[in-house]
RNA sequence: GGUGGCGUAGCUCAGUUGGUUAGAGCGUGGGAUUCAUAACCCCAAGGUCGGUGGUUCAAUUCCACCCGCCACCA
C-alpha cells in the first residue's frame, strides 16, 4: 500500500466553471484518486477555491456584494456543483480561510530570512476617484506606439507591445472610467527568484518522469532566466503582509499577490481538512514528519504548468524547510466549444451547473475522459457527445447489463445460477479479460485517460462478444447447464465491468453493484493474478435487475441544446 | 514577434526508437441474430500519414524550410 497526495488546480472563485475547466484538472484528478483508492492505497485528494485578487473584488462589486459575502456564496455554489459531479475531494477548501493566511505569511517570512525577499519602491497608477491603486490590466488608454485607443496597461492588444501603465496616453480607470489618475510611489515585496534558479533547474533535471510538455515549459522559463517578481499588491482583499508575525510597516493596505498565495492553499486546504477531521496534515506535506513515502501528483491545465514547475517550487525550496514537492504531474490542453472558446458573456458552451440539469454526471464524466484533451485541444460538440454516450454507455455497456440481468430474471429466477462447467470459450474469455485488465491498470497508473476509457470500453465489448457466442437463450432450449454457465459468467462480467468502471462513472457502477448485491469490500480493483474473475459471485445470489442505466440522448435534445448553448456559432 | 505543441481514414484520435498489406471507436454499406435500450455480434469500403526539399538501400516516422491551427510570454 502506497500513499498518494493528489491535488487539482484550484478553480477561481469567480463563477461556475465550464466543462472544459472540469475536464482539464478536477475530473481527471478525481478519476485518478478513485483508481488509487480502489487499488487499496491511502489517498488524500485536495482542492479548493482560489478566492483572492482583483477579479473577485470586481465581480463582487458588480454583484453588489461585499467581497467576502460574494466568495462565501460562490464557494458554496462551486462546492455543490463539484458534489453533483461526484468529485471525491477529501477536502474542498478556500484560499481565503485562516490556514492559508498563516502559511502564506509563514512562507514569506521564511523566504525573507533566507535572503530571497527584497522591498522595493515602484511607481504605480493611483485612481483618486476609485481610492485605490490600479492593477496594470485595469488601466486603459491610448497606446504610445500605435495610437490604439483601448490599449491595456500591460499590453496593447492592437500592436502587441508590452507596456507599463505609466506610458499610456489619456489613461483612465477601467473600473470607474475615471481619468483622475496619478502615478504614486508604492512599496512592494519582490521574490528574488534568480537566486533559486540553479536549484530549481537541478530539481527539474531529476524529474525525469514528468511529461515532455511540462519539462519543456519549465526549461523554457529557466532558459529565459527567472526574474525578481513582485508578490504583493495594493488591494484590501487577500492575505495581509506581516513581519515577525505582526503587520508589516508600510504594508497595511497591501496583500499578497494571488499567484503567491494560491498554490500555498494546496497545503492550507490540507490543514483545513485536518482541523475538520482530526487528520494529520504534516504526514502528507512535511518530509521530516512522515511525508517521505508520499507520492504527490498534481493535475492542471497547460496554462498552469509554469507556476507548478517553477514558481511554486521556488517558494517551497526557498523556505529552506522540508516541504513535499510534486513528484508526478499531469497537464491538459483545452476542451473547446466547437473549436472556439467557452464564454459566459456570449452564452457559448455548457457550464457545470447547467450540465447537471441536462443529464446525470456520468454522461459528462465519461465523454470528457474518453475524449480528454491530452495531446492537443479537443473540441466538444453536442453531436459527438451524443454519439459517444449513446454508443458507449447506452448501447455497449448499459445494454449488456440489461440483456443479461433480464435473461437471468426470466429464466433463472433472478439468481446467479449453479451448474455446468467452464469450457474453452470461458477459458479464452478469462485470458482476454486478464490481458485487458492489465492494460487498463497500466493506463490508469500512467494517467492516460483516453486510453483507460478505451480499454474499459473494450472490456465491455468482450462481454457482448461472449454473450453472442455463448448464447444462453439458445442453449436453454437443449442444455440448461450450458445456459447456466453463460448466465453466471455474464453476471460476473457485469460486476467486474462495474467495478473497473467506478473511476469514470461511479453512479452507474454503484447502481449495478447494488443491484447484483456486491458488498463494498468486494468492489476493490482486481489485482489480476489467480482471481476467479468470472466465477466470483456466490451461486444462488439474488439480484434485482436495474432499470435502464443510460437513456439515450435524443436528436431533439441535441437540437434544443445546440440552439440554447450557441453550438457552432 | 519569441518559445512550445499540434496537423494521420467523413469525424475524434492511436501508432511508427525509419523497414513486409498504417490502426481503433464513431459514422457509412452488407450480413447474422432476437436475450436486450431497433440494442448486440460478424464482414467490408475509406487514408499519396499538412506541403516542398534533403539524409538514407528504405521516411508517414530523422533534418531544413513553408503553410494552417492552438497555447504561453510572469
Q: Which residues pair with A297 in a beta bridge?
A: A6, A328
C-beta of residue A455 within 8 angstroms of C-beta of residue A443: yes
Q: Where are the alpha helices (DSSP H) in A39-169?
A: 54-62, 67-84, 98-113
* pLDDT score, position A134: 84
Task: Of A480, A504, A502, A484, give the one whose Cα is nearest residue A492.
Answer: A484
3-state DSSP assignment of residue A242: strand
The answer for A566, left when phi > 0, alpha when psi is -120 to 50, beta otherwise, is left
The whole-number Å distance from A18's CA to B1's C1' is 32
Distance of CA A8 to the CA centre of its chain: 5
CA distance A184 to A181: 9
The whole-number Å distance from A557's CA to B10's C1' is 24
What is the nearest nucleotide to A393, using C1' and CA? B37
Strands of the sheet with A169-173, listed across from one edge: A151-152, A139-142, A169-173
Q: For chain A, list residues with pLDDT below 50.
A: 569
Q: Which DSSP string corresponds to A454-508? A: HHHHHHHHHHHHHHHHH-HHHHTTT-HHHHHHHHHHHHHHHHHHHHHHTTT-HHH
Task: Of A451, A137, A194, give the one whose Cα is nearest residue A311.
Answer: A194
Per the structure, the residue whose CA is closest to nucleotide B25 at C1' is: A454
The whole-number Å distance from A233's CA to B16's C1' is 51
C-beta of residue A304 within 8 angstroms of C-beta of residue A96: no
Instruction: Walk me through the domains of chain A, giving residue ranges and CATH numbers.
Output: 382-522 (1.10.730.10)
3-state DSSP assignment of residue A294: strand
A126-183 tens-digit pLDDT: 989 888 888 877 888 887 777 777 777 777 666 666 677 888 888 888 878 888 988 8
Strand B bases, protein C-beta under 7 A: 1, 3-7, 11-15, 24-27, 34-37, 39-42, 70-74
* pLDDT score, position A168: 82
Alpha-carbon torsion A9, A237, A280, A206, what sign?
A: positive
What are A467-472's contacts with CB under 8 Å, separation 24+? A467/A400, A467/A403, A467/A404, A469/A425, A470/A425, A472/A407, A472/A411
Report chain A's terminal Cα–Cα distance, integer Å: 50
H-helix or E-strand containing A222? helix A212-224
* pLDDT score, position A336: 85
CA distance A543 to A495: 11
Per the structure, the residue whose CA is closest to nucleotide B13 at C1' is: A371
Nearest 5 degrees, angle CA A220-CA A223-CA A229? 90
A316-355 tens-digit pLDDT: 999 999 999 999 888 888 888 887 778 777 778 899 999 9
C-beta of residue A193 within 8 angstroms of C-beta of residue A229: yes
What is the nearest nucleotide to A460, using C1' and CA? B40
CA distance A137 to A165: 8
* pLDDT score, position A334: 83
CA distance A401 to A425: 20
* pLDDT score, position A145: 74
CA distance A406 to A546: 9
Per the structure, the residue whose CA is closest to nucleotide B37 at C1' is: A399
CA distance A503 to A45: 14
Per the structure, the residue whose CA is closest to nucleotide B70 at C1' is: A377
What is the nearest nucleotide to A225, using C1' and CA? B74
The whole-number Å distance from A467's CA to B39's C1' is 13
- In this prediction the pTM is 0.94
The whole-number Å distance from A307's CA to B26's C1' is 38
Helices (H) and strands (E) in chain A, counts: 21, 18
* pLDDT score, position A406: 95
C-beta of residue A54 within 8 angstroms of C-beta of residue A173: no
Q: How many residues does chain A have?
A: 569
* pLDDT score, position A531: 66
The whole-number Å distance from A374's CA to B60's C1' is 22
Q: How much is the ipTM here?
A: 0.89
3-state DSSP assignment of residue A261: helix
Amino acid at each position: 500500500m502506497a500513499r498518494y497526495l493528489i491535488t487539482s488546480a484550484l478553480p477561481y472563485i469567480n463563477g461556475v466553471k465550464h466543462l472544459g475547466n472540469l475536464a482539464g484538472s478536477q475530473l481527471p484528478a478525481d478519476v485518478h484518486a478513485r483508481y488509487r483508492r480502489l487499488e487499496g492505497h491511502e489517498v488524500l485528494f485536495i482542492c479548493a477555491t482560489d478566492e483572492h485578487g482583483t477579479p473577485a473584488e470586481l465581480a463582487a462589486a458588480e454583484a453588489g456584494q461585499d467581497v467576502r459575502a460574494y466568495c462565501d456564496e460562490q464557494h458554496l455554489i462551486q462546492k455543490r456543483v463539484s458534489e453533483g459531479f461526484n468529485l471525491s475531494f477529501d477536502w474542498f477548501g478556500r484560499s481565503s480561510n485562516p490556514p492559508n493566511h498563516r502559511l502564506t505569511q509563514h512562507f514569506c517570512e521564511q523566504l525573507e530570512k533566507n535572503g530571497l525577499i527584497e522591498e522595493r519602491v515602484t511607481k504605480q497608477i493611483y485612481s483618486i476617484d476609485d481610492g485605490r491603486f490600479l492593477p496594470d490590466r485595469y488601466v486603459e488608454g491610448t497606446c504610445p506606439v500605435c495610437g490604439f485607443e483601448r490599449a491595456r496597461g500591460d499590453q496593447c492588444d492592437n500592436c502587441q507591445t508590452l507596456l507599463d501603465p505609466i506610458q499610456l496616453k489619456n489613461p483612465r480607470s477601467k473600473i470607474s472610467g475615471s481619468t483622475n489618475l496619478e502615478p504614486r510611489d508604492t512599496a512592494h515585496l519582490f521574490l528574488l527568484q534568480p537566486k533559486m534558479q540553479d536549484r530549481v533547474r537541478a530539481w527539474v533535471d531529476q524529474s525525469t518522469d514528468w511529461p515532455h510538455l511540462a519539462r519543456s515549459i519549465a526549461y523554457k522559463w529557466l532558459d529565459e532566466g527567472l526574474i525578481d517578481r513582485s508578490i504583493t499588491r495594493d488591494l484590501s482583499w487577500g492575505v495581509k503582509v506581516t513581519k515577525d508575525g505582526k503587520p508589516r510597516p508600510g504594508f497595511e493596505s497591501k496583500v499578497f499577490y494571488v499567484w503567491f498565495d494560491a498554490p500555498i492553499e494546496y497545503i492550507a486546504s490540507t490543514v483545513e481538512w485536518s482541523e475538520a477531521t482530526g487528520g494529520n496534515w504534516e504526514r502528507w506535506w512535511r518530509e521530516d514528519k512522515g511525508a517521505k513515502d508520499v507520492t504527490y501528483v498534481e493535475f492542471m491545465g497547460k496554462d498552469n504548468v509554469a507556476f507548478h514547475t517553477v514558481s511554486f517550487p521556488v517558494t517551497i525550496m526557498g523556505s529552506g524547510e522540508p516541504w513535499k514537492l510534486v513528484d508526478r504531474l499531469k497537464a491538459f490542453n483545452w476542451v473547446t466549444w466547437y473549436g472556439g472558446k467557452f464564454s459566459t458573456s456570449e452564452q457559448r458552451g455548457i457550464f457545470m451547473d447547467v450540465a447537471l440539469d441536462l443529464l446525470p454526471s456520468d454522461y459528462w464524466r465519461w465523454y470528457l475522459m474518453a475524449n480528454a484533451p491530452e495531446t492537443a485541444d479537443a473540441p466538444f460538440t453536442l453531436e459527438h457527445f451524443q454519439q459517444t454516450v449513446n454508443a458507449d454507455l447506452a448501447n455497449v455497456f448499459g445494454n449488456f447489463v440489461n440483456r443479461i440481468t433480464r435473461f437471468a430474471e426470466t429464466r433463472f429466477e433472478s439468481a446467479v445460477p449453479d451448474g455446468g462447467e467452464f469450457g474453452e470459450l470461458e477459458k479464452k474469455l478469462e485470458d482476454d479479460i486478464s490481458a485487458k485488465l492489465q492494460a487498463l491498470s497500466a493506463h490508469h497508473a500512467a494517467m492516460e485517460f483516453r486510453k483507460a476509457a478505451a480499454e474499459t470500453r473494450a472490456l465491455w465489448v468482450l462481454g457482448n462478444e461472449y454473450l453472442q457466442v455463448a448464447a444462453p437463450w439458445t442453449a436453454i432450449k437443449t442444455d440448461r447447464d450450458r445456459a447456466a454457465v453463460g448466465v453466471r459468467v455474464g453476471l460476473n462480467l457485469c460486476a467486474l465491468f462495474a467495478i473497473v468502471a467506478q473511476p469514470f462513472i461511479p453512479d452507474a457502477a454503484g447502481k449495478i453493484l447494488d443491484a447484483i448485491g456486491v458488498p463494498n469490500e468486494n468492489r476493490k480493483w482486481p489485482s489480476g493474478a489467480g482471481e476467479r474473475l468470472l466465477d466470483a459471485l456466490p451461486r444462488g445470489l439474488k439480484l434485482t435487475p436495474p432499470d435502464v442505466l443510460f437513456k439515450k440522448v435524443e436528436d431533439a435534445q441535441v437540437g434544443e441544446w445546440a440552439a440554447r448553448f450557441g453550438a457552432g456559432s
